[in-house]
Structure 1
Amino acid sequence: MNDALFQSLIHPVAPEPVPWWPPAPGWWILLALALIMGLALPWLALRWKRLGARRRRTGQALKDIPADLPDQQWLSEINSLLKRLLIRRGEVAPSRLFGEQWLEYLCNGYPRPQRSCLEPLAADLYRQTPNLTREQRRALLRELRRWLRHNHV
């Protein structure tokens, strides 16, 4: 090739170095997500901790009811506890229910309720001398724990 012709060509020039500022849009999105997560995670952790503490207190409240109480008094204590928990949650109307209406409230909005386990809270509570077996008491407590967990009480 001719030297004069070669000199007349425009030679390639190295591009400018890529500046670090402003960052590409992807970095802005990543920064925004990191900021949101940095603010949301402590808040979510606190809520999770409070929910766990509330569940532990509720579960402990069920355990605090003495098992050696007579059936009617034991059922009355459980009923009172449930209604206090509902009032604390802001639901006053259900706390006035009793009998079959109370049983219907406990079974509504609850997947696969074991109605037979919860029946002592409706019927046996108002009998003169209810007779619950040890297995019926265990089944009732198990069902109440499920109900409390499902309803976030």
Structure 2
Amino acid sequence: MEESLYTQLTHPASPPAVSWWPPAIGWWLLGCTVLLLVLLIPWLLRYARRRKRRLNRRSRQMLADISATLPDAQWLAAINISIKQRLKQRGNDAATRLFGEAWLDFLCSRSPDVQRQALQPLAADLYRPHIELTRAQRQALLAEVRRWMRHDDV
């Protein structure tokens, strides 16, 4: 009897296949996010490149603004102050308190190919009362500071 009742039952129909359209809200959000990223990433990269170029231009101008006719002690102090001001603007306050060999170590650690000997006047000679740098030493120091700034993006 139970078997006959079972055979008399109407079996449920299988549900219709799930359609792929319209997608669920999560897919809409994912698609909008990807589209937004595709549109924003090139703009952000361009903005970062422009900002980096502008900062590099300012750094080069900062060195160009230092008069070559200054006495050696004032010239070295002006370069040192300019570098530290740029580091402070970038948020590296700890480096602005360094001096002497610790300052030179910091400068050399930030750029692997920097010539320590050319930057030596920023460490040792900066605090001497009477400094005399040759024209070649000044040019070598400026070249190393420029190289350091290019590498460190100061």
TM range (shorter): 0.7 to 0.9
* Unpaired stretches in structure 1, ≥5 consecutive residues: 1-20, 23-31
Q: Supply the distance in 2 between the matched residues of 1:87 and 1:36 (Cα, whole angstroms).
A: 32
- What number of residue pairs does the alignment pair up? 128
> In the alignment, does 2:71 pair up with 1:104?
no
What residue in structure 1 maps to residue 67 of structure 2?
66
Aligned-residue sequence identity (percent) comes to 50
**Secondary structure at 1:108's aligned position in 2?**
helix
- Deviation of the 1:147 alpha carbon: 0.7
For residues 18-37 of structure 1, the C-alpha deviation after alignment (integer angstroms, 9 at most, x for no partner) is: xxx99xxxxxxxxx977643
Q: Deviations over 1:91-127 (max 9, x none)?
A: 1111111111111111113112201100000111111
Q: Which residue of 1 aligns with 2:82?
A: 81
Q: Report the 3-state secondary structure (helix = DSSP H, G, I; strand = E; otherwise coil) of the residue aligned with 2:110.
A: coil
C-alpha contact 2:87 2:93 (8 A) present in aligned 1:
yes
Partners of 2:94 and 2:35 in 1: CA distance: 44
Following superposition, the deviation at residue 39 of structure 1 comes to 2.1
Root mean square deviation of aligned Cα: 2.3
| Partners of 1:97 and 1:55 in 2: CA distance | 23
Question: 1:4 maps to which residue?
Answer: none
Q: TM-score w.r.t. structure 1 length?
A: 0.75
Query: Aligned with 2:67: secondary structure?
Result: coil
CA contact (8 A) 2:114 2:147 kept: no
User: 1:60-79 deviations in whole A, cap 9, x for unaligned?
Assistant: 00100001000000000011
62-71 vs 101-110, greater mean Cα deviation: 101-110
Q: Extract structure 1 runs of 4+ deviating beyond 4 A.
A: 32-35
Matching of residue 126 in structure 1 with residue 127 in structure 2: yes
1:48 corresponds to = 49
The equivalent residue for 2:28 is none
Give me the TM-score of the superposition, normalised by structure 2.
0.75
1:86-97 alignment, distance < 5 Å: 86-97=87-98
